[in-house]
Amino acid sequence: MEMTGKPWHARLWSSIVCWFDSSAGAAQISRDGAQARQIDWTRVVPFVGLHLACLAVLWVGVSAAAVAVAVGLYALRMFAITGFYHRYFSHCAFRTSRAAQFVFALLAASAVQRGPLWWASHHRHHHAHADAPDDAHSARQHGFWWSHMGWFMARRNFAARHALVADLARYPELRFLDRFDALVPVALAALLYAAGALLAHFAPALATNGLQLVVWGFCISTVVLYHATFTTNSLAHRFGRRRYATSDDSRNNAWLALLTFGEGWHNNHHHYPGAARQGFYWWEIDLTYYGLRLLAALGVIWDLKQVPAAMLNARRQSGAPA
């Protein structure tokens, strides 16, 4: 049943409820209906609002402490997204305990990129249909801006593709994070405000406060993290070199790899998605993999899957550089 058959005020209320409970009304949205690709602007108000909130920097100013918090949270959450939402939850590239799985899912959820089931299910769908007509964020099929950020605003993509993540859905704590995906970001913003207020009182020399830490540590850091992550769908399927003759448009891009902690080695990844590392060679900087190696040395994770030697030279493009 399409949501468009409901009165406007009922649709508005459903959209608002979905800010707090992502499962509300999901069953009413058909993936194949005429309205499925339309953007539900009410439901994406928080996304737009987060961008606008960055302008508050004009009022709260800047401090070294606030910038350090912003950079630190960018790095921590980028690692959680790339290492766990992507390489662990989406591709099972290593193993870990249930407790560590939850902790890193919690960290990744603070990046405001929805829950682990939603993220992993749509990414698995992408690999099954990469740059084909059914790929929800193909730049080839739908254009740059849709691949960059329009796709996740569409009604058809608000719900997780549960059939693709049955292995993850058996954990109630992951289902909870997925359903109430706004809880962790709101908690992070509240913690930042409290930390800033305490610093203003006990360490005034740092010249920061609660609002400043929220603007820099949450709003600006999250928006930069958003668009860095989104480049993997948009820019990494358009700009760079192709080492492997994959059926999609994936490219290797060293600049994007630095920005995204290794995700820019995207042609490598589409060639062999199950590896814990995406920089296949020592000169391909993959910060996420280095972090995973550290966690493995500490015993937090184990069984990191490597690229089989035979795959390094399989399906190479003619004349492609090593």
Render 3-35 in DSSP notation, one character per residue. GGGS-HHHHHHHHHHHHH-TTTTGGG--SSSTT
Averaged pLDDT, 117-129: 97
Domain ranges in the chain are 60-131+163-312
pLDDT tens digits, 236-294:
999 999 999 999 999 999 999 999 999 999 999 999 999 999 999 999 999 999 999 99
The 3-state DSSP class for residue 163 equals helix
Please report the pLDDT score of residue 24 as a whole number. 72
Structure tokens at 165: 């993540």
Percent of the chain beyond pLDDT 90? Answer: 82
Averaged pLDDT, 217-229: 98
Contact 104, 78 (CB under 8 A): no
pLDDT tens digits, 138-152:
999 999 999 999 999
Please report the pLDDT score of residue 64 as a whole number. 98
Contacts 24+ apart (CB under 8 A), 182-191: 182/19, 182/20, 182/46, 184/106, 184/109, 184/110, 185/109, 185/110, 185/111, 185/112, 185/218, 185/222, 187/110, 188/110, 188/218, 189/214, 189/218
Mean pLDDT of the chain: 92
Render 34-98 in DSSP notation, one character per residue. TTTTSB-TTTTHHHHHHHHHGGGHHHH---HHHHHHHHHHHHHHHHHIIIIIIIIIIT--SEE-H
